[in-house]
Every structure is written in structure tokens, then in C-alpha cells.
Amino acid sequence: MSKIDEAVAQDEQRLGHEIGVSNWIEVDQAMINQFATVTHDEQWIHVDPKRAAAETPFGGTIAHGFLSLSLASRFAYDCLPVYDGQVMGINYGFNKIRFLSPVTAGSRLRGRFVLRDIKKRSEKELQRETGLTIEIEGKDTPALVAEWLSLSIFE
């Protein structure tokens, strides 16, 4: 059996099941400011703590939705399997992303992953659809939910 066929067989057992929960990561004001600078999105609700505290219902600044989403790659390193014979993983996109709750500065986030689908695209490519929930510590409503597509490339 080829390495990719072994990976498919492993994943067939995981379909519909949680495959991992990442470590927590704090999203502090410094991280938000750095993201704002890099993306040129320096809207005051992200970078002006005094104004955000006075003029928003959030009590302070909030992280960019795309900052929360960008942490998905880091969360995946904590949770998602690397298959025997896999030489790289590639982000293939998203079917759906919904931002459900603002992430206030100082919050801690983690990723929760559920394997939804696998598809052998060729003898070297395995496509995986993973349900991703980015949770906010102490909150019932997550920051976001997404259907994430990735490719595992084999030798």
C-alpha cells in the first residue's frame, strides 16, 4: 500500500471526529498593532485603546477578524497529523468562514479541528476538509467557524 493510501485509510477512521485541540495563544495589543501595521488596517477599533474603550461596546480594542483567522496555521501545527511520506502541506482555501464574536485585546484563542472530508486527488495529493472553530477562552460563542481545505503532498 502506498503512503498516500495509508493516509487515506487512517483518515477514513477519523471522518466526522475531532482530530485535535490546539494550545491557547494570547492575542494582546502588541500582536494586534503588529497585524495592523503589516496589513495596513489601522482602524481605531483595533489600535486606539482609549477611543475603543470610550466609543465601542467592546470595552477596548478588538483583534482583526483576519488576525484570528491567520492563527489557524499555528493551531494546525499543534493538532493536525503529518502523514508518513508527506513532504509538505498547502493551504488550499476555505469553503466558508463566519466571524461570530469579537476578540478583545488580551483574549486567549485556540483552534478545535474536526475532519469532515478527504479526497485523493492524485498519487501525490490528498485533499482534506477540516471544520475549524476558533474558541475564545471563557466565552460560549467562538471567534469564528470555518471549513478549511488543505492539500497534503507526498513523495
CATH of the domain at 76: 3.10.129.10
Domain span including residue 98: 3-27+64-154
In a domain, 58, yes or no: no
Q: Give me the number of domains the chain comprises.
A: 1
In a domain, 15, yes or no: yes
In a domain, 93, yes or no: yes
What pLDDT shows up at residue 1?
85
Q: Which helix (H) or strand (E) holds 94?
A: strand 86-99
What pLDDT shows up at residue 55?
97
What pTM was estimated for this model as a whole? 0.94
Distance of CA 32 to the CA centre of its chain: 16
What pLDDT shows up at residue 56?
97
What pLDDT shows up at residue 81?
83
In a domain, 132, yes or no: yes
Count of C-beta atoms within a 10 Å radius of residue 4: 23
In a domain, 145, yes or no: yes
The alpha helices in 15-151, defined as continuous H runs, are 29-39, 44-47, 49-55, 65-70, 72-79
pLDDT in tens, the chain (155 residues): 899 999 999 999 999 999 999 999 999 999 999 999 999 999 999 999 999 999 999 999 999 999 999 999 999 999 988 899 999 999 999 999 999 999 999 999 999 999 999 999 999 999 999 999 999 999 999 999 999 999 999 98
In a domain, 52, yes or no: no
